[in-house]
């Protein structure tokens, strides 16, 4: 009996191991995603963006008037974590949701450090160029100034604790804070904070 | 017949000149400021050794030398060749144990040079600087992101190296673990942490807030990290406040960042130690180890505008970076060296038993020739990186001072410019290069 068990184990174990090592596609927000305690993972961006968008939409702050969506610019999103992150991972998802819902459009022609997309400006520089049909070049006064700006901050707090002989437990708390400012009045008309707290001793898959 | 094999093997091993010997002429030219000659020597060596175990180290020397002469594209080609080789060795990591076995029979210098942790980070950093000189900002940012990733990846690689070295020690593993070789530990005045290079982080931060519109906030992450690593430097605190204001939309006048690269990084010297092993087959071994040797002294650097002098702040002490890397990798070196020495001693003993006096002589020669420490190290790296930020004066003229050396530069037009100053031996002129960031 024992040799048989050994044989079966020897035959199946490599196959199981290979199965684990093979690359595969997974749902980006599903339970198979890898979870790192000290990092913001894809599913964290998705969760934070979803919850913040829901909060913004439910607040009624940016109801379109007569079907005309409001115009929003993206302000500064401070990264107060200890890792390099692309804050677009958060902002893009919020922008897409607002855009698809018809509540707000984002201007790419205005930004704190100049326009996000230089094309609006570049095309206007063709006004003096005879090679271009001037009727196809946007006239003056067409660009739309934003009604609101969206700004915020991402904060990270770390903690660790040792429980007896168990491995050290690490905890990371990520706070996603956003504010929407009415640019006419300078007042913050909506503010929200979403917390994501993760705990563990090492990276794991979330099941 | 078997006895004849020993001397032949010994002769093959003896043919391996140490890296310190190989680089004598090159280092002489470099340290005296004859950078054109140094670049030629490095290029010749890199071409001759492009398929050898020393290829990576010579491509690194070549890249640094060509960069100093202002041949930025050629420098990046050399660095790319080094990088390709390093990646090739990384892909071979799964067969590392067989390479360890080669090391056991010969010496560690006989194994391919795969690039140390700080080599990989500096390789990407110099490539980034070259791309900035060539006006290719996006490519520079890719290199800096890679350098950032290398710092983390090297921690994992080093752990793997130690595990592999322990495994390769085989029957000697337990006895070697007891050996204490404190005399090899480098004296590290500053500890930045494993594989951390604050200069690379600083350059990354500088590029982020000047070049990349999406990632600008990450500049502050890098600056805060260096500030904490360097123990709260006033310059960095002021830089954090300054960049924070700029990211909030504040305007600034024309700025010049002056980066001083001064002195030369440490090299490795061989030290021979008798180590008691207390193993039943081998009681003690005489083995050669590398030991770090610092070169030259720290040189203060300043920027003068008219009568006003601005001190450059020490951002990265490469002695500390190399020393920390050396210390982190030392357990693997000790395991590999002692295991190799013990294996060779056992082979020599067997030769004596089987072939009498002739075998004993061959065994002795085999041990002596094979006992060579790995002294390969990137010799053209500087001792220190210092940085100074000044508002560019109206006439755009700056006076640059490194110790007794002095030179003048007229900064190109631009909102934010970077001037790179490299100093060699006292009395040789400073090498000045500059590029515009914004």
Q: What is the ipTM score, two decimals?
A: 0.70
pLDDT tens-digit readout, B421-434: 999 877 788 999 99
pLDDT at A21: 56
Specify whether A138 is located in the same domain as A56: no
On whether both A193 and A180 belong to a single domain, the answer is yes
Q: Do B224 and A113 touch (CB under 8 A)?
A: no
Q: What one-character-per-residue DSSP string does B38-71 give? A: HHHHHHHHHHHTTTSTTHHHHHHHHHHHHHHTT-
Is the Cβ–Cβ distance between B405 and B426 less than 8 Å? yes
- Which residue of A lies nearest to B219 if distances are taken between CA atoms? A84
Nearest to B9 by CA among B354, B255, B366: B366
Q: Which of B202, B195, B212 is nearest to B142 (CA)?
A: B212
Q: Which residues of A touch B220 (CB under 8 A)?
A: 78-79
Q: Is A20 within the bounds of a domain?
A: no
**Residue A171 resides in a domain:** yes
**Together in a domain, A98 and A53:** yes
pLDDT exceeds 60 at position B274: yes
Nearest to A82 among B214, B221, B248 (CB): B221
Average pLDDT over residues A47-51: 93
Same domain, A152 and A97: yes
Q: Within a domain: residue A150? A: yes
Residue A87: list chain B partners with CB under 8 A: 217
Residue B395 contacts A where some CB pair is shorter than 8 Å: no
Q: Are residues A133 and A156 both part of a single domain?
A: no
How far is the CA of B82 from the CAs of A98, B35, B49, B86, B398, in angstroms?
A: 48, 20, 12, 6, 36
Distance from the Cα of A161 to chain B's closest Cα (Å) equals: 22
Domain end marker among A124, A143, A162: A143
Beta carbons of B248 and A81 less than 8 Å apart: no
Residue pLDDT, tens place only, B32-80: 989 999 999 999 999 999 989 999 999 999 999 999 999 999 999 999 9
Q: Helix, strand or coil for residue B26?
A: helix
Domain that holds residue A169: 29-107+146-205
Pair (A133, A190) in one structural domain: no
Q: Is residue A137 located within the same domain as residue A150?
A: no
Q: For position B17, what pLDDT does the model report?
A: 60
Partners of residue A116 in chain B, C-beta under 8 Å: 213
Which residue in the set B213, B221, B247 is minimally distant from A84, CB to CB? B221
In chain B, the residue whose alpha carbon lies closest to the alpha carbon of A78 is B217
Beta-strand relationship, A104-106 and A70-80: parallel
CATH number for the domain that contains residue A33: 3.40.50
Query: Is residue A21, in this structure, part of any structural domain at all?
Result: no
| Domain parsing of chain B, residue ranges | 2-436
Residue A14 covered by a domain:
no
Sort strands B416-422 and B255-262 into parallel, antiparallel or unpaired.
parallel
Task: Compute and round to an integer the Cα radius of gyration of chain A.
Answer: 25
Look at residue A18 and tell me if it is in a domain. no
Same domain, A37 and A100: yes
CB contact, 8 Å: B251 with chain A?
A: no
Of residues A39 and B284, the one with the higher pLDDT is A39
Q: A133 and A38 in one domain?
A: no
Residues in chain A within 8 Å Cβ distance of B141 = none
Q: How far apart are the C-alpha atoms of B423 and B432, rounded to whole Å?
A: 9
| Per-residue confidence band for B29, with pLDDT thresholds at 50, 70 and 90 | very high
The answer, yes or no, to whether residue A15 has pLDDT greater than 60, is no
Asked whether residue B362 carries a pLDDT value surpassing 70, the answer given is no
Counting residues of chain B whose pLDDT is more than 70, the rounded percentage is 82
| Sequence-separated contacts (24+) of B87-96 with Cβ below 8 Å | B89/B56, B89/B114, B89/B115, B90/B114, B90/B157, B93/B160, B96/B160, B96/B164
Could A88 and B221 be called an inter-chain contact, meaning their C-beta atoms sit closer than 8 Å? no
Nearest CA of chain A to the CA of B244: how many Å?
9
> Has residue A58 been placed in a domain?
yes
Instruction: Evaluate whether B398 touches B375 at the Cβ level (below 8 Å).
Output: no
Regarding whether A152 and A138 lie in a shared domain, the answer is no
Distance of CA B315 to the CA centre of its chain: 16
For residues B162 and B139, give the distance between their C-alpha atoms in angstroms, rounded to a whole number. Answer: 34
Residues, chain B, total? Answer: 438
Residue A112 CB burial class (10 angstroms; 0-12, 13-18, ≥19):
middle
Helix runs in chain A, H state only: 2-21, 42-59, 88-100, 119-124
Between A36-40, B64-68, B254-258, the lowest mean confidence (pLDDT) is in A36-40
The answer to whether the CB atoms of A112 and B249 lie below 8 A apart is yes
The verdict on A45 and A77 lying in the same domain is yes
Of the pLDDT bands very low, low, confident and very high (cuts 50, 70, 90), residue B372 is confident
Inspect the interface and report whether the beta carbons of B249 and A82 lie closer than 8 Å.
Answer: no
A63 C-beta neighbours (distance < 10 Å), count: 11
Q: In this model, does residue A170 exceed pLDDT 90?
A: no
Q: Residue A17 falls within a domain, yes or no?
A: no
| Domain count within chain A | 2
Q: What is the pLDDT of residues A118-158, one digit of tens each?
A: 899 999 999 989 999 999 999 999 999 999 999 999 999 98
Nearest-neighbour CA in chain A from B303: distance (Å): 30
The Cα angle at residue B382 between residues B381 and B387, in degrees rounded to 5: 130
Q: Is the domain of A121 the same as that of A194?
A: no
């Amino acid at each position: 009996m024992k040799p048989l068990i050994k044989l079966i184990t020897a035959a199946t174990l490599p196959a199981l191991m290979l199965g684990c090592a093979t690359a595969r596609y997974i749902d980006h927000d599903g339970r198979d995603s890898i979870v790192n305690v000290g990092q913001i993972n894809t599913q964290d961006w998705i969760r934070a963006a979803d919850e913040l968008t829901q909060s913004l939409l439910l607040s009624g702050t940016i109801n379109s008037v007569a079907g005309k969506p409001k115009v929003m610019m993206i302000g500064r999103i401070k990264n107060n974590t200890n890792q390099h992150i692309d804050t677009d991972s958060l902002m893009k998802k919020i922008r897409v949701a607002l855009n698809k819902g018809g509540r707000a459009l984002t201007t790419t022609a205005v930004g704190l450090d100049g326009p996000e997309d230089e094309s609006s400006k570049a095309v206007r520089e063709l006004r003096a160029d005879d090679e271009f049909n001037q009727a196809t070049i946007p006239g003056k006064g067409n660009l739309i100034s934003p009604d609101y700006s969206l700004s915020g901050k991402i904060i990270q707090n770390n903690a660790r604790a040792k429980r007896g002989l168990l491995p050290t437990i690490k905890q990371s708390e990520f706070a996603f804070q956003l504010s929407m400012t009415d640019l006419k009045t300078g007042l913050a008309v909506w503010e929200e904070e979403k917390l994501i707290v993760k705990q563990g001793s090492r990276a794991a898959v979330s099941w | 017949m078997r006895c004849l094999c020993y001397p032949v093997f010994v002769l093959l091993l003896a043919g391996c000149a140490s890296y310190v010997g190989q680089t004598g002429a090159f280092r002489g030219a470099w340290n005296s400021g004859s950078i054109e000659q140094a670049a030629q020597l490095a290029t010749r060596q890199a071409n001759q050794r492009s398929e050898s175990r020393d290829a990576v180290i010579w491509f690194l020397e070549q890249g640094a030398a060509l960069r100093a002469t202002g041949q930025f594209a050629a420098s990046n080609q050399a660095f790319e060749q080094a990088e390709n080789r390093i990646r090739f060795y990384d892909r071979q990591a799964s067969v590392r144990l067989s390479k360890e076995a080669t090391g056991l029979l010969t010496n560690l210098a006989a194994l391919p040079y795969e690039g140390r942790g700080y080599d990989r980070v500096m390789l990407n950093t110099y490539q980034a600087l070259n791309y900035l000189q060539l006006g290719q900002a996006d490519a520079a940012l890719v290199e800096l992101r890679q350098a950032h990733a290398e710092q983390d990846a090297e921690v994992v690689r080093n752990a793997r190296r130690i595990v592999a070295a322990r495994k390769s020690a085989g029957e000697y593993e337990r006895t070697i673990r007891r050996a204490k070789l404190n005399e090899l530990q480098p004296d590290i005045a500053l500890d930045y942490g494993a594989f951390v290079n604050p200069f690379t982080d600083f350059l990354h931060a500088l590029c982020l807030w000047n070049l990349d519109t999406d990632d600008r906030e990450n500049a502050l992450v890098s600056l805060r990290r260096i500030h904490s690593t360097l123990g709260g430097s006033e310059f960095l605190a002021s830089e954090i406040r300054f960049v924070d204001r700029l990211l909030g939309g504040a305007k600034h006048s024309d700025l010049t960042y002056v980066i001083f690269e001064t002195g030369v990084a440490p090299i490795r010297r061989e030290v021979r130690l008798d180590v008691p092993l207390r193993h039943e087959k081998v009681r003690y071994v005489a083995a050669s180890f590398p030991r770090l040797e610092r070169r030259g002294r720290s040189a203060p650097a300043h920027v003068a505008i008219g009568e006003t002098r601005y001190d450059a702040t020490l951002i990265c002490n490469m002695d500390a970076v190399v020393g920390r890397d050396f210390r982190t990798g030392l357990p693997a070196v000790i395991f590999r060296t002692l295991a190799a020495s013990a294996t060779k001693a056992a082979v020599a003993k067997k030769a004596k038993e089987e072939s009498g006096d002739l075998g004993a002589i061959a065994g002795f020669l085999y041990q002596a020739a094979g006992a060579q420490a790995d002294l390969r190290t990137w010799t053209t790296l500087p001792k220190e990186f210092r940085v100074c930020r000044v508002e560019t004066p109206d006439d755009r003229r700056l006076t640059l001072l490194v110790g007794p050396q002095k030179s003048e530069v007229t900064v190109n037009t631009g909102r934010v410019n970077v001037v790179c100053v490299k100093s060699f031996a006292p009395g040789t002129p400073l090498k000045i290069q500059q590029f515009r960031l914004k």
